[in-house]
Structure 1
């Protein structure tokens, strides 16, 4: 009987050494690392196609405040707000220098940081200085 016992133990040990159990399975291969993405060559950050409209505040003689709001990105139309009055829309007019807008008997003429406003051909506000601009 001891010989039979030895034979059984030898058979069990032989079965274990053949890798019959799940622990004996070969380890799975690790996935290959992903190929790096190519670096961007010509990165271009695009600006908006047109400039954004802006609003400007002028302070004129006598401490009068005048507001000019660009109504379109091409600066072809403005809304001019005078003290105590509703905004009036003016369209770009031909000018030898500066920016000139006219309409409804009003003319806004800006040169650099200064502006003059006329009504019916007479100066209504002069010595206007740009105080702030926001866009």
Structure 2
């Protein structure tokens, strides 16, 4: 009996992990931007405290930081800054995606 219980624990833990990923995806908004350089797809957490996106073949996860105006997310290297329906992406204080315009904004 104990062997069966011990054998099922990894499957139970894996199930929890998949469930948490599923719930996180359900609580995510996907925002589409058109930037001067290329399109940008942002996944924003339901709590609005984190954004995720792919840039330069790298999956980035940025947390919300301080901003005097608009909303700013950073991981210490990249910054996603948005205000209204526009956004800009910086890498080490250099603009890498400029004039990003939100497509089909929700009003």
Q: TM-score, normalised by structure 2?
A: 0.67
Name the structure where strand makes up a greater proportion of residues: 2
Corresponding residue number in structure 2 for 1:111: 83
Separation in 2, partners of 1:73, 1:118:
23
Corresponding residue number in structure 1 for 2:54: 81
In the TM superposition, what is the alpha-carbon distance from 1:73 to its structure 2 partner?
A: 1.8
Corresponding residue SS for 2:103: strand
Name the structure where helix makes up a greater proportion of residues: 2
Q: TM-score, normalised by structure 1?
A: 0.54
Runs of 4+ aligned residues of structure 1 deviating over 3 Å after TM superposition are: none
Structure 2: gaps of 5 or more residues: 1-26
Separation in 1, partners of 2:98, 2:35:
6
Separation in 2, partners of 1:106, 1:98:
16
Separation in 1, partners of 2:72, 2:39:
19
Separation in 1, partners of 2:76, 2:54:
13
**2:54 paired with 1:69:** no
Higher alpha-carbon Rg = 1
Structure 1: gaps of 5 or more residues: 1-51
Corresponding residue number in structure 1 for 2:13: none
Residue correspondences, number? 80
Separation in 2, partners of 1:77, 1:126:
20
In the TM superposition, what is the alpha-carbon distance from 1:65 to its structure 2 partner?
A: 1.1
CA RMSD of aligned residues (A): 1.8
